[in-house]
Amino acid sequence: MEKLIFEMSAKGYENIFLPEENLNIEFNIDKNLLKAETLDLPEVGELDIIRHYTRLSQLNYSIDTNFYPLGSCTMKYNPKINEEISAYSEFKDLHPYMPEHSVQGILKVMYDLQNYLIDISGLSAVTLLPSAGAHGELAGNFIMAKYFKVKGEEQRKIMLIPDSAHGTNPASTVMAGFKPVQITSDENGYIDIEQLKPYLNDELAGIMITQPNTLGIFDPNFHIIAKMIHEAGGLVYMDGANMNAMLGHVKPGDIGADVMHFNLHKTFSTPHGMGGPGSGPVAVRDFLVEFLPIPIVEKRGENYKLNYDIKHTIGNIKEGYGNIGVIIRALVYFLSLGQVGLKETTDIAVLNAAYMKAKLTKKYHIKYKTLTKHEFVLDNKYQEEKGIRTLDIAKRLLDYGYHAPTIYFPLIVHEAIMIEPTESESKKTIDEFIDIMLKIADEAETDPELVKTAPHNLHFKRFDETRAAKQPILRWKK
């Protein structure tokens, strides 16, 4: 088992050396502060440190080392050309507040990406400022709230949120001053249209729809629902986190969306999987352009400018001009694949998911039988008879060298196992994962204790996750 750096400590070892004569003169540092025992720091040599952290890095699981079947997170491969170009000194060495005339190149990058996203969304304008999907949701809700305020319709507070939507939607709604009302799914996993009807009045602000939803199901009634909401005076927000299933096939604006966000870090590379760098641009219909956050990149003649003069702007929602590193990667992804290539990513993502679902449903239960797109949600109904929980299946997968899928989400599926293979993975990789999942199903039938007590092959066995959450140990104590 790998030791902690504190456990490797040995009295008298050092790896920081400063000239004795300079300690109190040039650097004005108190000698006592440099003593490891004063700061209670580990005493280790430089080579020990290098070896320790290198070994830890080799234990890390990443998209470059193996398959991530994380449903909802879209952990696709991040092409290395994206990393190479985003790391150009011409980009990474720029200060965010350099004069506009000196950063025309990066402004063009932002302007071009805005236009690509406008085209894909079928809407009228885009802000690149939000730094994550949930941040984009929040900005979109602020825009809708400001719209109703300017119209003098501040009584519109009800925001409808399907139970198949992404989990951050209700929080974004509340933070913008709206009241979330849950709408349940029907037996097909679609939004129950009948449940909308009581709210179609002058208190309705709108609806937030994840399309396709967290079950991986594309709701064919989206345009009908949008028409109902619009006729009642409300707005339609589309959570675009699952655009990986729509590129080149459907433009959200064409089916009735008024506001939407993209997850650049999911749909257009830079996978982050529940953490890390993100970017959540927001697109809006023409009558909402005047409410966008500032600044927006515009082209005036041959030059690019940052426009801060937006009539009813919701203001500045982020310092700087967005997460530039992710923005650059997304533009490179666009330019590398082109219109045809982007459409093909969706085709392959949907095909991979459909193939995997068809194989796995031979031994795993699926609640909603409706056609799914880029992801699907299984459960443990068949394994539950042997006392096997979804957590057990996930832990057993670790023994075979795979990161577990997303589990226990969405909440509308009991003991959910949410899987998204993405378009990045080959049939060989997918088949290997399917074989292991089917093998675990067999183990659950013939040797349930083996699955219940997994993992067996890792550096650490199963943790007490409840205790870890309630009693976290955040610092070393001797």
pLDDT tens-digit map of 101-110: 999 999 999 9
CA 224 to chain CA mean position, Å? 28
The pLDDT assigned to 164 comes to 94
Look at residue 73 and tell me if it is in a domain.
Answer: no
Rg (CA), the chain: 26
- Interval 279-294: pLDDT, tens: 999 999 999 999 999 9
DSSP per position, 137-155: HHHHHHHHHHHHHHHT-TT
Domain at 275, CATH number: 3.40.640.10
Domain-terminating residue out of 302, 336, 370: 336
Residue 408, phi then psi, degrees to nearest 5: 60, 25
- Interval 304-356: pLDDT, tens: 999 999 999 999 999 888 999 999 999 999 999 999 999 999 999 999 999 99
| Average pLDDT value over all residues in the chain | 92
Q: State the total domains in the chain.
A: 3
The pLDDT assigned to 26 comes to 55
Look at residue 163 and tell me if it is in a domain.
Answer: yes
Tell me the three state secondary structure of residue 240: strand
CA-closest candidate to residue 287, choices 89, 85, 125, 75: 125
| pLDDT interval class at 13 (50, 70, 90) | confident
DSSP per position, 392-444: HHHHHHHHTT----EES-STTSTT-EEE--TTTS-HHHHHHHHHHHHHHHHHH
> Are 421 and 439 in the same domain?
yes
Least confident of 1-10, 24-33, 115-124, 336-345: 24-33
Look at residue 448 and tell me if it is in a domain.
Answer: yes
Domain-terminating residue out of 283, 312, 336: 336
Higher per-residue pLDDT: 1 or 256: 256
| pLDDT interval class at 96 (50, 70, 90) | confident
> Are 309 and 362 in the same domain?
no
Dist. CA 96–CA 318, nearest whole Å:
12
- pLDDT above 70 (res 274): no
Look at residue 475 and tell me if it is in a domain.
Answer: no
Look at residue 69 and tell me if it is in a domain.
Answer: no
Question: Encoding tokens for residue 347?
Answer: 């085709």
- The amino acid at 440: I
405 preceded by a cis bond (ω within 30 of 0): no
Q: Report yes or no: 427 and 434 within 8 Å, Cβ to Cβ.
A: no
- Interval 397-433: pLDDT, tens: 999 999 999 999 999 999 999 999 999 999 999 999 9
Q: Measured at the alpha carbon of residue 234, what is the angle toward residues 169 and 114, in degrees to the nearest 5? A: 65
Residue written as token pair 């729809």 = 209
Higher per-residue pLDDT: 10 or 17: 10
Segment 48-66 shows an average pLDDT of: 89
List CB contacts of 324: < 8 A, sequence separation 6 or more. 91, 94, 96, 106
Look at residue 75 and tell me if it is in a domain.
Answer: no
User: With the C-alpha atoms ordered 419, 423, 425, 428, is the resulting torsion angle positive or negative?
Assistant: positive
> Are 357 and 330 in the same domain?
no
> Are 142 and 168 in the same domain?
yes
> Are 344 and 255 in the same domain?
no
> Are 54 and 24 in the same domain?
yes
CA-closest candidate to residue 109, choices 131, 85, 144: 85
Whether the model clears a pTM of 0.75, i.e. scores above it, the answer is yes
> Are 7 and 91 in the same domain?
no
> Are 329 and 380 in the same domain?
no
The pLDDT assigned to 30 comes to 66
- pLDDT above 70 (res 23): no
Residues spanned by the domain of 35: 1-58
> Are 204 and 292 in the same domain?
yes
> Are 389 and 446 in the same domain?
yes
Question: Encoding tokens for residue 420?
Answer: 């998204």
Domain at 391, CATH number: 3.90.1150.10
| pLDDT interval class at 17 (50, 70, 90) | low
- pLDDT above 90 (res 120): yes
- Interval 143-180: pLDDT, tens: 999 999 999 999 999 999 999 998 899 999 999 999 99
> Are 352 and 308 in the same domain?
no
Look at residue 347 and tell me if it is in a domain.
Answer: yes
The pLDDT assigned to 19 comes to 61
Domain-terminating residue out of 296, 317, 336: 336
- pLDDT above 80 (res 25): no
Q: Report yes or no: 353 and 373 within 8 Å, Cβ to Cβ.
A: yes
> Are 194 and 50 in the same domain?
no
Look at residue 478 and tell me if it is in a domain.
Answer: no
